[in-house]
Amino acid sequence: MRRIVFIFPILVFVVVGAFFAYGLTRDPSNIPSQLIDRPLPEFDLPAIQGLQDGLSTEDIKGEVALVNVFASWCVSCHIEHPVLMELTKANAVPIYGLNWKDAPGDGKAWLDRYGNPYKAVGDDQKGRVAIDLGVTGAPETFVVDRQGRVRFKVVGPITEQYWTDTLQPLIEELRRS
């Protein structure tokens, strides 16, 4: 009987250790969006200063698209921007931009300098739409399906590898269904 008691601590540790080992393979900062499989929240944003068209929910319906939250003050957006340019050049997927909390003129200056990969850009200067979308930081990207539902959310910059490994297969699957 005593023996069994002495084995108990190691059994507890084996269970805890297994959780630790499995926990290492997961990323705690990767928080899933509450919007998954829900329609994109309704919004109708004005154009950013210097551009003609704004962005509303209606524009995004009809085909699989990306909605990308960006800002000129965002360092990681510098890393992501060339990838978005490549995607647009290759006609891979329509990308819509949400210019988040930028001072008037800064968004346009950014696009003039680095190129404009977006079909349309909405100006979310006050960050109201970003709150509806549950944006925690820039850049963030939402994958929207033909019915206008959010199907996936990317936190942080999209890299070339992330595109080929994750986003491209996902978009092709959404187009087929």
Partner 1 sequence: MTPEIGHFALILAFALAMAQSVALFAGARGDDAGFAVFGRRSAIVVFALVAIAFASLMHAFAVSDFSVVNVYENSHSAKPFIYKLTGTWGNHEGSMLLWVLILTLFSAVLAAQGKAAPRDLHLLTLGVQALIISAFLAFILFTSNPFERLIPAPADGTGLNPLLQDPGLAIHPPFLYLGYVGFSIPFSFAVAALIRGKADTVWARLVRPWALIAWVFLTIGIALGSWWAYYELGWGGWWAWDPVENASFMPWLAGTALIHSVRVVERRDAMKGWAVLLAITAFSLSLVGTFLVRSGVLTSVHAFAVDPTRGVFILAILIAAIGGSLTVFALRANSLSATGAFSAVSREGALVVNNVLLLVACAVVFVGTFYPLFIDVLSGDKISVGAPYFNMIFAPIASITLALAAVGTLLAWKKGDLPASLKRLIPAAGAALVIAVLVLFLADRARVSGAFALALVVWLVGGAAIDIAGRVKLFRAPAGDSFTRVKGLPGAAWGAAIAHGGLALFALGAAGISLWKSETVVLMAEGSTAEVAGYEVTLKSVEPFSGPNYVAERADFVARKNGETIALSGERRFYPVRGMETTEAAIRMQWPGDLYISFGENKSGNGWPVRLFFNPFVHFLWLGAAVTALGGLIAFADRGKKPAKLRHRQPKAVAAEAAPA
Rule CB under 8 A: which residues touch partner 1?
A: 2-3, 6-7, 9-10, 13-14, 16-17, 19-24, 26-32
Q: Minimum CB separation from partner 1 for residue 16, in Å?
A: 8
Looking at beta carbons only, is 22 or 90 nearer to partner 1?
22
Structural contact between residues 77 and 104, judged by C-beta atoms closer than 8 angstroms:
no
Structural contact between residues 168 and 66, judged by C-beta atoms closer than 8 angstroms:
no
The torsion region of residue 118 among left (phi > 0), alpha (psi -120 to 50) and beta comes to beta
**CA–CA distance, 112 with 35 (Å, rounded to integer):** 32
DSSP 166: I
* Residue 107, C-beta contacts closer than 8 angstroms, at least 6 positions apart: 48, 49, 50, 71, 72, 99, 121, 123
Structural contact between residues 10 and 65, judged by C-beta atoms closer than 8 angstroms:
no
DSSP 39: B
Looking at beta carbons only, is 64 or 71 nearer to partner 1?
71
Omega within 30 of 0 (cis) for the link into 139: yes
Q: Minimum CB separation from partner 1 for residue 154, in Å?
A: 16
Q: Minimum CB separation from partner 1 for residue 83, in Å?
A: 23
Q: Minimum CB separation from partner 1 for residue 132, in Å?
A: 20
Looking at beta carbons only, is 35 or 120 nearer to partner 1?
35
Q: Minimum CB separation from partner 1 for residue 77, in Å?
A: 15
Looking at beta carbons only, is 2 or 176 nearer to partner 1?
2
Looking at beta carbons only, is 27 or 113 nearer to partner 1?
27
